[in-house]
Amino acid sequence: MTFAQRALDYYLALDEPRNLPAGVSALNPYRQPAVQAVMRQFLTRFFDDTRPRVFILGINPGRFGAGITGVSFTSAQNLATYCGIENDLPKRLEVSSRFIYQVVEALGGAREFYSRFFISSLFPLALVREGKNYNFYDDRATTQALWPAIIDTVRTQLTFGADRRVAICLGRKNATYLHRLNDEHQFFGRIAILDHPRYILQYRSRDLAAYQDAYIRTLADSLA
C-alpha cells in the first residue's frame, strides 16, 4: 500500500473520543463527504508512493484549519491556493496555516515539500471548549483521557511511511509530551523543536523572518 492509501484508511475511520471531560469536545471533519473528497485528492496528489517522510507534529488541529479541511495546518483558502485543490469548504482565517505555507513555498512549493515531509498532530482531531480552540494538554483530565489515543495516533501514523530518524515538533510545550512519548516508545531517533506558528504570529510577529529562517534550516537539516 502507498502512503496515501494507509493515511486515507486511517483518517476516514477516526471516531470521536467518548471519555473527554465535561465541556471539552472533538470535531471530526472526516465524517463529511466534502472533506473525504478533499483528503482523497490531497493524499493522492502528494503521497501516492512509498517514500518515507519526515514527520512534523503539532498539538491537535485547530477548528479553522484541519478542523474544517481535514488537512493539517491547511485552511480551505490555502488548500486551493497552494495545493491546487479547489473546494467549497468554509473559508475561515487560520493564521498558523498562513505561516506554514510561507515555509512550504520557501522550500519549493507543495509538491516538493510534501515529497519529503508529512504534517500531522499528536492527537488527530480538533478540540474545542466554549467554542474556542483547546489543546489536549490544557488540563490534566483531558491529557489523561486522550493519552492512550495519542500513543495510538503516533504509532499508527508511523506505518504510513515515516523517516524515523527525526521528528519535528511544533510547540515548546508540545515537545514535553512528544519527548515523553518517545522516551516510552522510541518512536524517533531524535526530536527537533520549533516554536508553534500560532505563538510566533501572536507574540513574535516582528521577528517573523527569523522564525521562518529557523523553520527552513531545521527542516533542511532533518533531511541530511
Smallest Cα–Cα separation from 119: which of 66, 185, 73, 164? 73
Residue range(s) defining the domain that contains residue 197: 3-222
Banded model confidence at residue 31, pLDDT cuts 50, 70, 90: very high
Q: What separation in angstroms does the CA of 210 have from each of 90, 135, 204?
A: 32, 26, 10
Smallest Cα–Cα separation from 56: which of 12, 107, 128? 107
Residue 64: pLDDT above 90? no
Q: How many CB atoms neighbour CB 174 within 10 A?
A: 22
Q: What are 94-144's pLDDT values in tens digits? A: 889 999 999 999 999 999 999 999 999 999 999 999 989 999 999 999 999
Give the pTM. 0.96
**How many domains does the chain fold into?**
1
Q: What is the pLDDT of residue 18?
A: 93
CATH number, residue 41? 3.40.470.10
Q: What is the pLDDT of residue 93?
A: 79
